[in-house]
């Protein structure tokens, strides 16, 4: 995907699947080639990011909350392309799969 195609993925909803098999609705909140990729949990009723509870999030420098820790800082374009292509093709993100290989060049928490 080109950076422009990646930006078109903003707002895409997908299922975030944890290692223990539990899942939660999520969406792609932001993408910027210079900053990285941010995904957030989704409140399916309001279609807005959930307000985080204690210990469950990080307040980003831009004032947004990163919930469930899916913030890929300084994400290389190849890394973002891998992640977004996977989400586009499957509609989900599996924390437990070999998707870790997608993180080459990323610093994430």
Hey, what long-range contacts does 80-88 have (CB within 8 A, 24 or more apart)?
80/6, 80/31, 80/33, 80/36, 80/37, 81/1, 81/6, 83/37, 84/1, 84/6, 84/9, 84/28, 84/31, 84/37, 85/1, 87/9, 87/12, 87/14, 87/28, 88/9, 88/12
Provide the pLDDT for residue 8: 92
Diameter of the chain by CA atoms?
Answer: 37
pLDDT at 91: 92
pTM above 0.85, yes or no: no
Question: What total number of domains does the chain contain?
Answer: 1
Residue 94: domain span: 3-108
User: Mind listing the pLDDT tens digit for each residue in 6-65?
Assistant: 889 888 888 877 777 878 787 787 777 666 666 666 655 555 555 443 333 444 444 443
């Amino acid at each position: 995907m080109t950076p422009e195609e990646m930006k078109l993925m903003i707002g895409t909803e997908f299922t975030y699947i944890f290692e223990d098999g539990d899942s939660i609705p999520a969406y792609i909140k932001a993408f910027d080639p210079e900053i990285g990729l941010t995904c957030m949990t989704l409140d399916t009723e309001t279609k807005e990011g959930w307000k985080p509870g204690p210990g469950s999030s990080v307040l980003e420098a831009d004032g947004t909350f990163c919930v469930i820790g899916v913030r890929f800082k300084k994400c290389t374009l190849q890394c973002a392309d891998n992640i977004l292509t996977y989400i586009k093709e499957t509609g989900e993100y599996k924390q437990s799969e070999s998707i870790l290989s997608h993180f080459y060049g990323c610093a994430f928490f």
